[in-house]
Amino acid sequence: MFIITAVLSSVGIKVEETTLSYRTIQRARMIVRKEIAVGLKNDFKSHDKYVIHWDGKLLQDIVGSKSVDRLSVLLTAFGVEQLLGVPKMDSESAQNQTTAILRTLDEWGLSRYVKAMCFDTTAVNTGIHNGTCVEIEKALGRELIYLPCRHHIYELILKSAFEVYWPTSSGPNVPIFGRFKKKWDEIDKTNYKAGIEDSKVANVVLSKKNEISSFITQCLQAWFSSTSAIAAPNHDLEFLKQLIEYKEIDALISSATCEKMTSHLWYLNHELVVLSLFDDAVPLDMKKRIVDAVKTRDSIDSKVKRFEIDRKNINSIIQKDLSDFVSQKSLNLFKIFDLPYDFLDVDIELWASDESYKENEEYFKQMKVVNDVAERGVALVSEYNQCLTKTNTSFNIYCKLSKNIERNS
């Protein structure tokens, strides 16, 4: 307290006329922070086409020793990224997640502006009967667009390739790598050399070196280029074709990765393939075929939000192009986002100057299809957990303020 006294005196404040106590200062700080948090809500620039993101993590409660699930809930649109809250749940069930997400949206008064959901492709999120996504749609009374995290999808595909030649791990980390990391500082590196320098290892590895390098390059390029919404359909179709053809090099890896990817063809469903109309990498003649198919092909009613294919017939994908994945149901993308689609009746050569096309292009080019924002929210929650406050309300305020400072810095 003597430091505060010295500071007040230095700026001309009479200390004897000032109430100095830890409790008074704490109450004042809490009031100011609460006012700032309320101001964030009032000043938040509202759009009418939000994508909601969420991700959770099991953490020790800020009070006591009980473990609770914390859910990071954010909205994105037109470059705006807003952390809405970090509610806690007793368990990470679909019902608990749905309740936490909807309550957080209602606190901000933004439920009616949510048009799409971005999430990790876990069973609790994607279950077709009682998953979190389905439950949110039921509660809101309307259909939303599903945007599964593309980084998560490609991580699963890479993991399936890794597990072909490495024991399967049920957790997110490979145990032997974890033990190696812990022991790293205790190891005398001068007693060891890279495995490739050993003649026996080299004889085994070198014959496969180019194949391994080629596959790693292929997968890394796919992962790093997976963040574009408008490129996603063409990106996934071409990558799946590459995985099928990889059987000529390594049949086991080809089989494992194809099996995994066919479970995650979300961006080849009827509604999302039309994003290709805004992808400059897709030729104009292909876009014409997509438009024709959208206008003429009947919709197929299905609760499944991803493209499904019999894995026995997976080679048939080689002969398919983007126009094979659309139908009249594809128009749902524009309807759900409340975007015009008059441009479909305009000559493709004139799209660049068509207002309805430009409006769609502007929105979908910036639309986030990775859940990194929610993962950063989880990291923030983990960092501040148990170190700032012992009340849930204050904890949420701290996280919102910190996220706002981070975004504006």
CA 217, 223, 224, 230 dihedral sign is: positive
3-state class of 333 per DSSP?
helix
pLDDT of residue 401: 47
pLDDT at 383 over 90: no
Q: Is 29 exposed, middle or buried (0-12, 13-18, 19+ CB in 10 A)?
A: exposed
In this predicted model, what pLDDT tens digit does every residue of 61-109 receive, in sequence order? 655 667 778 888 999 998 888 888 888 888 889 999 999 999 999 988 8
pLDDT digit string, tens, across residues 122-168: 999 999 999 999 999 999 999 999 999 999 999 899 888 888 877 66
When pLDDT is cut at 50, 70 and 90, the band that residue 398 belongs to is very low
Give the CA angle between residues 107, 109, 114 to the nearest 5°: 115
Task: Quote the pLDDT of residue 241.
Answer: 95
- With tokens 């493209």, the residue in question is 307
Q: How far apart are CA 143 and CA 331, in angstroms?
A: 13
- For residue 20, pLDDT over 90 is answered with no
User: Residue 405: what pLDDT?
Assistant: 40
User: Is residue 220 scored above 80 in pLDDT?
Assistant: no
Provide the pLDDT for residue 313.
87
Tell me what pLDDT residue 300 has: 78
Across the chain, mean pLDDT equals 83
Question: What is the length of the chain?
Answer: 409
Structural domains of the chain ordered from first start:
1-43 (no CATH), 44-149+371-408 (3.30.420.10), 151-366 (no CATH)
DSSP labels, 196-236: GGSHHHHHHHHHHHHHHHHHHHHHHHHHHTTT-TTTHHHHH
pLDDT band at 199 (very low <50, low <70, confident <90, very high): confident
Residue range 390-398: mean pLDDT, rounded: 52
159 against 294, higher pLDDT = 294
Is 245 a residue whose pLDDT tops 90?
yes
Q: What is the mean pLDDT of residues 111-115?
A: 95
Task: Say if residue 400's pLDDT is above 70.
Answer: no
Distance CA 270, CA 275 (A): 10
pLDDT at 249: 86
User: β-strand 88-89 against 114-119: which pairing, if any?
Assistant: unpaired
Which helix (H) or strand (E) segment holds residue 146: the answer is strand 145-148
Residue 165, both tokens: 């030649």
Position 292 confidence tier, pLDDT thresholds 50, 70, 90: very high
Helices (H), 72-144: 94-108, 123-126, 132-140
Average pLDDT score over residue span 7-23: 68
Predicted pLDDT of residue 323: 97
Share of the chain above pLDDT 70, in %: 77
For the ranges 73-77, 113-117, 301-305, the lowest mean pLDDT is seen at 301-305
pLDDT-derived band at 44, boundaries 50, 70, 90 = low
Comparing 123 with 57, the larger pLDDT belongs to 123
pLDDT tens digits along 317-368: 999 999 999 999 999 999 999 999 999 999 999 999 999 999 999 999 999 9
Greatest mean pLDDT among 75-84, 179-188, 232-241: 232-241
Question: Is the pLDDT confidence value at 287 over 90?
Answer: yes
